[in-house]
Structure formats: structure tokens, C-alpha cells
């Protein structure tokens, strides 16, 4: 039997119906079946000919198709075994540029999968979106870039400016390591089945000058304490870590509250804590 080319593949709805597949809530499945939408995400990711991409949660493969159309080489990591056969059909059409891996993305070694530098692009399952982002921010594998769909509320926290309600631990961590911007909003109705909330795509680009891993660990300790009691002044919320003396060593006002301290201020606090340890 001959293998169809990428542009001759049947519509995603037909692929799902043909395989008798429907979304399973346990895997956070909300599919993008409109190729115009997935092509836009691939464009926003800025990947192209010959570049390596890791995609998490390809499901029926709509985003995977769009990524392959750019000429990229894709390693797709999917936990739900039901989708593996249709992803293998897609791999056959992609003539060697798609590798399908059945695994939990929380467990995989990205460096081994990609065999070199790679971008990560994904419409993430909501239930594991934040732990996956933290893994890619702080783990041993630093992606070239990340273009990731989250529920809107999480996207807002990742890209939150200092001083606002959404500014917190996740935003400080992401912005200490990456430039983070929301590049696309999507209403719930764009997905099949529609989730309860809207979504957004965040693009994260690692900073050229990144704090070392040990400092990032201390940074997380400081932000956990500071935002754990976000209404309190730092002199009180950071008491166990040195309180007023720590703030003074870092050049930060001990009467400030966490949400008014910029990312650079939290890094200074972490540095002071490490220096004083
Ligand atoms: N990329 C597809 C799309 O845009 O239509 C599907 C996106 S859906 C929101 C999330 C996908 O991630 C599902 O295919 C789900 O089975 C998969 N998934 C859920 N948890 C996972 C995990 N821990 N590791 C890998 N894939 C996972």
C-alpha cells in the first residue's frame, strides 16, 4: 500500500473517527483540529527546515503536521497509547522526520531524545503543564526556545509584570531564566472538546546570561517564602531566611511586599542568602 504525502493526509476529524478515538479527560485531552490554528502556532515557534523540535502530547497530530510542514525534525512524546498507531501513520508520511515516543513527558530525558539542541513546542495537557515548564526551566536540558499552550490563567502568571495580581513564584522563575511573552490567545471553542477556560500560547526564550542552577534553587526558596505570605512585608515573610538583615544585604526595602519586588530584586535576595550561608 502506498504511503500518502503529508499534504495528502485525511482531515484530523476523519483520522479520529476512523480509529474510533475520542478525548480522554485523564490525559487532559483538548484537541486542535483546525490546521490554520496549528500552522499559526508553528509560525510563532519560529522553527524551520532541519531544526529539531520536541513536541509533548501530539495526540491526533494536528500540531505535529504543522511542525513537519515547516521542514523541522520532530520527536513527539505521547503518553496515551491509543494515539501511537495514527502517529506512526503520520511518521510514515513524514519520511524519517518524525520520531514517535510513547512515554510520560515528565520522565523523559530530552537531551537523549533530541540528540542535540532542540526547541519545545506543545499544546500542553493542563494537568501537567506547570510541572513540565518547571522541568524545562530548571532541569539539565535547556530548550532553544519553548512555545507552549497553557490555560490563560497560567499563561498570565508566567508572563506577569511586577506589581500585578498575577505576579508570583512561577513568573519570577520563568523571567529569571527566559524572556516570556504571550503571543496568542485562543478561546475555548477552538478546541475539541472545548475546555472550561480560555487558553494562550507563551513563547519563552532563554536569556543569554542565566543564573547558575544553585542560585535558581535558592531563588525558589526565597520566592516560596515571600509569595507564601504575599500580603506581609518581606521583613516578616522572609523572617526564617534572615528577614530585615537579608533584605538590607540585598539592597531591598524590608517593608516592601513580594509583588512589588522585580525579578532582579529576588535574584539579589537569593545571592545575599547564598553569600551569607
Ligand atoms: N497536540 C494535540 C493537539 O493540539 O490537538 C493534543 C493536545 S492535548 C491538550 C494534550 C496531549 O498530551 C494529549 O494527547 C495527551 O494524551 C498528552 N499527554 C497528557 N499527559 C501527558 C504526559 N505526561 N506526557 C506526554 N503526553 C501527555
Mean pLDDT of 121-131: 95
Backbone angles phi, psi at 39, to 5 degrees: -65, -35
pTM of the model: 0.96
Q: Does the beta carbon of 105 sit less than 6 angstroms from any atom of ligand 1?
A: yes
CA of 31 to the centre of ligand 1 (A): 9
**Per-residue pLDDT tens digits for 207-246:** 999 999 999 999 999 999 999 999 999 999 999 999 999 9
Q: How much is the pLDDT for 277?
A: 47
Mean pLDDT of 43-66: 97
- Angle of CA points 78, 144, 173, to nearest 5°: 90
CB 257 within 8 A of CB 238: no
Mean pLDDT of 124-131: 94
Residues 6+ away with beta carbon under 8 Å from 261: 162, 226, 234, 252, 269
Domains of the chain: 6-206 (3.40.50.150), 213-273 (1.10.8.100)
**pLDDT band of 1, cuts 50, 70, 90:** low
Q: How much is the pLDDT for 252?
A: 98
Q: Best mutation site among 125, 132, 192 for ligand 1, i.e. most ligand atoms within 8 A of its Cβ?
A: 125
Q: Does the beta carbon of 131 sit less than 6 angstroms from any atom of ligand 1?
A: no
Q: Does the beta carbon of 128 sit less than 6 angstroms from any atom of ligand 1?
A: yes
Amino acid at each position: 500500500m502506498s504511503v500518502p504525502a503529508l499534504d495528502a493526509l485525511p482531515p484530523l476529524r476523519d483520522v479520529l473517527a476512523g480509529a474510533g478515538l475520542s478525548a480522554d479527560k485523564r490525559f487532559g485531552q483538548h484537541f486542535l483540529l483546525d490546521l490554520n490554528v496549528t500552522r499559526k502556532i508553528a509560525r510563532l515557534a519560529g522553527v524551520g527546515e532541519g531544526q529539531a523540535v520536541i513536541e509533548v502530547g501530539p495526540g491526533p497530530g494536528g500540531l505535529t503536521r504543522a511542525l513537519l510542514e515547516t521542514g523541522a525534525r520532530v520527536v513527539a512524546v505521547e503518553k496515551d497509547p491509543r494515539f501511537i498507531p495514527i502517529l506512526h501513520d503520520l511518521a510514515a508520511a513524514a519520511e524519517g522526520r518524525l520520531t514517535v515516543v510513547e512515554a510520560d513527558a515528565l520522565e523523559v530525558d530530552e537531551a537523549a531524545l533530541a540528540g542535540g539542541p532542540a526547541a519545545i513546542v506543545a499544546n500542553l495537557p493542563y494537568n501537567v503543564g506547570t510541572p513540565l515548564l518547571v522541568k524545562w526551566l530548571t532541569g539539565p536540558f535547556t530548550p532553544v526556545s519553548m512555545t507552549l499552550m497553557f490555560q490563560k490563567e497560567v499563561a498570565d502568571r508566567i508572563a506577569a509584570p511586577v506589581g500585578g495580581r498575577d505576579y508570583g513564584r512561577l513568573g519570577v522563575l520563568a523571567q529569571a531564566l527566559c524572556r516570556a511573552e504571550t503571543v496568542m490567545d485562543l478561546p475555548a471553542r477552538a478546541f475539541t472538546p472545548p475546555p472550561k477556560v480560555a487558553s494562550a500560547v507563551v513563547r519563552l526564550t532563554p536569556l543569554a546570561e542565566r543564573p547558575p542552577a544553585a542560585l535558581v534553587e535558592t531563588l525558589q526558596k526565597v520566592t516560596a517564602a515571600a509569595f507564601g505570605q504575599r500580603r506581609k512585608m518581606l521583613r516578616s515573610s522572609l523572617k526564617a531566611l534572615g528577614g530585615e538583615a537579608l533584605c538590607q544585604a540585598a539592597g531591598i526595602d524590608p517593608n516592601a511586599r513580594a509583588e512589588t519586588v522585580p525579578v532582579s530584586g529576588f535574584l539579589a535576595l537569593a545571592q545575599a542568602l547564598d553569600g551569607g550561608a
